[in-house]
Amino acid sequence: MSTKKWVYLFEEVEEAEKYVGGNWEDVRALLGGKGANLADMTRAGLPVPPGFTVTTEACNAYLAAGNQFPEGMWEQELEALQKIEEKTGKKFGDPTRPLLVSCRSGAKFSMPGMMDTVLNIGLTDEVVEGMAKLTGDARFAYDSYRRLIQMFGSVVMGIPDEPFEDVLAEARQKAGVKTDAELNAEQWKEVVEIFKKIFKEHTGRDFPQDPIEQIRLATEAVFKSWNGKRAVDYRNAAGIPHDLGTAVNIVTMVFGNMGNTSGTGVAFTRDPSTGEKKIFGEYLINAQGEDVVAGIRNTQPISAMEKELPEAYAQFLEICEKLEKHYKEMQDVEFTIEQGKLWMLQTRDGKRTARAAIKIAVDMANEGLITREQAVLRVSPEQVDTLLHPQFDLEAKKAATAEGKLLAKGVNASPGAAVGVVAFDADLAEKWGKEEGKAVIMVRPFTRPDDVHGMLAAKGILTSEGGATSHAAVVARQFGVPCVVGASDIVIDLEKRQMTAHGVTVKEGEWVSIDGSTGEAFVGQIPTVETRLEEQKDLMTLLSWADEFRRLQIWANADYPQDAQRARNYGAQGIGLCRTEHMFFEEERLPFVQKMILAKSEEERQEALDALLPYQREDFAGLFRVMTGLPVIIRLIDPPLHEFLPSHDEVFERVITKRVKGETEGLKEDEELLAAIESMHESNPMMGLRGVRLSIVLPGIVKMQVRAIFEAACQVKKEGLEPKPEVMIPLTGHVNELKVIQPQLEEVAKQVMKEQGVEVEYKFGTMIEIPRAAVTAAEIAGVAEFFSFGTNDLTQMTFGYSRDDAEAGFLLKYVEDGILPKNPFQTLDVDGVGQLMKMAVENGRKTRPDLEVGICGEHGGDPASIAFCHSINQNYVSCSPFRVPIARLAAAQAALKEKGFSAK
């Protein structure tokens, strides 16, 4: 009976591959990501210091047996250590040619909470002296030794850091220096002695003077750290299985600080910030890896190595090219040159900016290194998003944070950076922004529809209440205005015209900077960097490839011609949602709207509607012109009518004040207005008289709208263009609602076309945003020619969450606590809302096989949600014009993944 193989030398990668059945992902599972890559480099003939990996299976067996090494494991590890001694010609515990190693954990996925690295294993009282002689650098030797004792003590034996740090502080004080780097050999020697005492005090045993014992304890510590609290919590949160286990990597130490033919560095195979194809990195002569990272000494650009260490540099360039070809990805490598000899210590896919990610993907596809499918899968939709909004200069933002200028954090409601002076109301924001050309950040507790003029004039919006789909957030995303909402630490005092958070007060007119991508608000001005789609040639290329792969169409939500134009420029194939009510809030129209609402007779109401008709007709004509040849879905009026009236409290206060003061002027009018507002009051307006319900009760409004739509369409068709109106009825819950209203509206449409002598292609359909509509989709599809999922409301009602209230309240806690994996208003809740959608598509198409199905909720621009929409065979997703490029990419990725393509 042969014992299982628990330990693989780096050069035994083929055996590992054979054992798992050939799949590289399984090798990574067995050896961990770090170990697998070191083994892989070794196989490719790259200079990797000798070492080996104890498998994740050993870890699992150890933990399962109640912290007992499985049979044969330790013997195999000892054998591997011996092989390393043979390979390096060095020997553990031998002061004349000491072998030192590092010990690191390495799971399939890197995760926080796992055991930190322990370096310099192998140093003992005896060996350290040998090292000092051998290197002629006693300071280095004792510094290394004290590091081992401290790391080993804290990481392996669980001694707190404080006693060690106290000793260091005392030593610095005693020596009269500020940094550890200034301590000399003698001083380190003293520290070593005290460290050893601390070790004994805390563990009851001496610091092990046997290198093999050090390795055994370190191996066990790595295994145990798999079940440490932080690691378990992280896996729970990230959804990583608990049975993966971690591997242990033991690697020969190499030293870059052995004189001027030694050195160490880190590098990227391409420029991680621009994507340019050239080695990018930094290095230091005669230094250790830590020194590069710590920034104590000034590093040199990697190109400088060409002069200083030409041979090693040439070898390094060659290795980098080899690595890129091998991994087909830009690599982030660590290397050390020990006395002229180059050693590769790590390689992994390099992190990069959004811009670089796109350029690298496109370049690599053009170089033939990867396929276009891979290129499309390599760039995340979020990276595309980043490119489309101005961003803060990262360094400047870091500095501002360090200086305590971070005012508050809220919900990242609409991406992009914005800088401006604070205005606390919409009128002022409009005045400063539009008339005086100032950069304004509009700050409000929350916004209402009649704040929109100010929001449009502002560079950014900041609210202290509301969530990611509050009015402020929705409008901001719609118009691409950076926005932070629900920054609840901010207390806004509208009377004093100032806001306060954490003791800092900002007055109206003072500068603030907000980052809508991260949800941060800063005091003062932070410099920004701007970008444009048209200028992003690589992105344009990538998106054109994406368009070839996707099945979903991408439409946009746009209310005005200029938004539609932007959407079309960005590649939108239709308008999925034009919200007609936004038009009602415009200055010259609102009086007619209010007259219509407060009308005391049908005649009065019709008069007001007649006055609104020409405005609406022009709105729609503009849209049809821009979108000629493409479908335009116009949603009939949706909100409850009281939204168009002044707020209750405002009028109530006026009435009470006048009554108490005994003033009669305007009192009667105010009282009447108050009575009207009160009569329209609903305890839960979200679920009240709006949408199709309003249309059935007051059909005049929607008949006017349909007349305007078809008059506009006929007009535009006469101009030689091709309008394709689709009329959408909101909030349907029962098929009978459609049966009542839709024929009346179609009648109006036909009447108009007859009057105009023009035939226009059109559809009538409905939003699916009420759970009951989803459940009874089969019936509804018998009348509606298209479905558009209104996932904002559908999410509200399926969860029973009022979004504004929830996002300002318990919902954030729910997401933080992991009760909800994500904010369901940002990413579709696939298990709940998604199941209703799936049901609706399937049952709807049973009744009407060619049913057009889309989504016009906020989720239409969210990549994960787009993937779900793809999976249930929707025809399109519709999103904000600014998110069209993101959606194009996300849709392509969903299609490619479905077909089994992957980024690698």
Minimum gap (Å) between residue 798 Cβ and a copy of itself: 5
Pick from 796, 826, 865, 874 the residue near a copy of itself by CB under 8 A: 796
Whats the size of the chain, residue-wise? 904
Of residues 428 and 812, the one with the C-beta less far from a copy of itself: 812
Sign of CA dihedral 149, 152, 153, 154: positive
What is the β-pairing status of strands 504-507 and 498-501? antiparallel
HSE at residue 415, side-chain half, CA atoms within 13 A, is 18
236 touches a copy of itself by CB under 8 A: no
What's the CA gap between 857 and 577, in Å, rounded?
9
Pick from 112, 800, 849, 900 the residue near a copy of itself by CB under 8 A: 800
**Given the rule CB under 8 A, which of 56-64, 321-329, 805-813, 863-871 is the region that contacts a copy of itself?**
805-813
Size of the site for a copy of itself (CB under 8 A): 56
Of residues 168 and 687, the one with the C-beta less far from a copy of itself: 687
Pick from 799, 847, 871, 897 the residue near a copy of itself by CB under 8 A: 799
CB of 12 closer than 8 Å to CB of 43:
no
What's the CA gap between 832 and 829, in Å, rounded?
6
Of residues 340 and 809, the one with the C-beta less far from a copy of itself: 809
Of residues 576 and 771, the one with the C-beta less far from a copy of itself: 771
Q: Residue 11 gets which letter from DSSP? A: G
Number of H helices, E strands in the chain: 38, 31
Residues pairing with 53 in the sheet: 8, 249
Minimum gap (Å) between residue 598 Cβ and a copy of itself: 17
CB of 17 closer than 8 Å to CB of 62:
no
Pick from 531, 814, 822, 827 the residue near a copy of itself by CB under 8 A: 814
CA distances from 222 to 113, 117, 207, 561, 614 (A): 11, 9, 18, 61, 74
CA angle 108, 111, 112 (to 5 degrees): 155
Minimum gap (Å) between residue 799 Cβ and a copy of itself: 5
What's the CA gap between 739 and 737, in Å, rounded?
5
Interface residues for a copy of itself in 688-727 (CB under 8 A)?
688-689, 693, 696-697
Query: Catalytic positions, please?
Result: 471, 856
Nearest to 122 by CA among 95, 104, 140: 95
**Given the rule CB under 8 A, which of 78-86, 187-195, 516-524, 827-835 is the region that contacts a copy of itself?**
827-835
Minimum gap (Å) between residue 471 Cβ and a copy of itself: 10
Site string for a copy of itself, 733-772 (x = CB under 8 A): xx-xx--x----------------------------xxxx
Of residues 157 and 687, the one with the C-beta less far from a copy of itself: 687
846 touches a copy of itself by CB under 8 A: no
What's the CA gap between 751 and 771, in Å, rounded?
34
What's the CA gap between 870 and 855, in Å, rounded?
11
**Given the rule CB under 8 A, which of 65-73, 403-411, 809-817, 854-862 is the region that contacts a copy of itself?**
809-817
- With b for 16 or more beta-carbon neighbours within 10 A and e for fewer, the 148-172 pattern comes to bbbbbbbbbbebeeebbeebbeebb
CB of 877 closer than 8 Å to CB of 855:
yes
612 touches a copy of itself by CB under 8 A: no
Pick from 317, 456, 686, 864 the residue near a copy of itself by CB under 8 A: 686
Minimum gap (Å) between residue 854 Cβ and a copy of itself: 20
Pick from 229, 817, 850, 902 the residue near a copy of itself by CB under 8 A: 817
What's the CA gap between 44 and 804, in Å, rounded?
57
Nearest to 55 by CA among 253, 235, 245, 252: 245
150 touches a copy of itself by CB under 8 A: no
Minimum gap (Å) between residue 648 Cβ and a copy of itself: 9
Sign of CA dihedral 648, 654, 659, 664: negative
Rounded to 5 degrees, φ, ψ at 284 are -135, 135
Site string for a copy of itself, 645-684 (x = CB under 8 A): ----x--xx--xx--xx--------------------xxx
- Residues in Cβ contact with 720 at an 8 Å cutoff, skipping those fewer than 6 apart: none
**Given the rule CB under 8 A, which of 69-77, 354-362, 624-632, 830-838 is the region that contacts a copy of itself?**
830-838
What's the CA gap between 810 and 816, in Å, rounded?
10
Of residues 235 and 617, the one with the C-beta less far from a copy of itself: 235
**Four-CA torsion 880, 883, 888, 893, nearest 10 degrees:** -120
Interface residues for a copy of itself in 84-143 (CB under 8 A)?
none
Of residues 346 and 732, the one with the C-beta less far from a copy of itself: 732
Minimum gap (Å) between residue 604 Cβ and a copy of itself: 21
Interface residues for a copy of itself in 422-451 (CB under 8 A)?
none
Pick from 69, 801, 868, 876 the residue near a copy of itself by CB under 8 A: 801
Pick from 426, 429, 440, 806 the residue near a copy of itself by CB under 8 A: 806
What is the β-pairing status of strands 417-423 and 553-557? unpaired
792 touches a copy of itself by CB under 8 A: no
Minimum gap (Å) between residue 700 Cβ and a copy of itself: 15
Pick from 103, 440, 836, 890 the residue near a copy of itself by CB under 8 A: 836
Q: With residue 633 as reference, give the H or E element that holds it.
A: strand 631-635
DSSP string, 443-459: EESS--GGGHHHHHH-S
865 touches a copy of itself by CB under 8 A: no
Minimum gap (Å) between residue 479 Cβ and a copy of itself: 23
Can you read off the two tokens belonging to residue 395? 């360094």
Of residues 369 and 687, the one with the C-beta less far from a copy of itself: 687
Residues that bind a copy of itself (CB under 8 A): 649, 652-653, 656-657, 660-661, 682-689, 693, 696-697, 731, 733-734, 736-737, 740, 769-772, 775-776, 779, 793, 796-802, 804-806, 809-810, 813-814, 817-820, 829, 831-833, 835-836
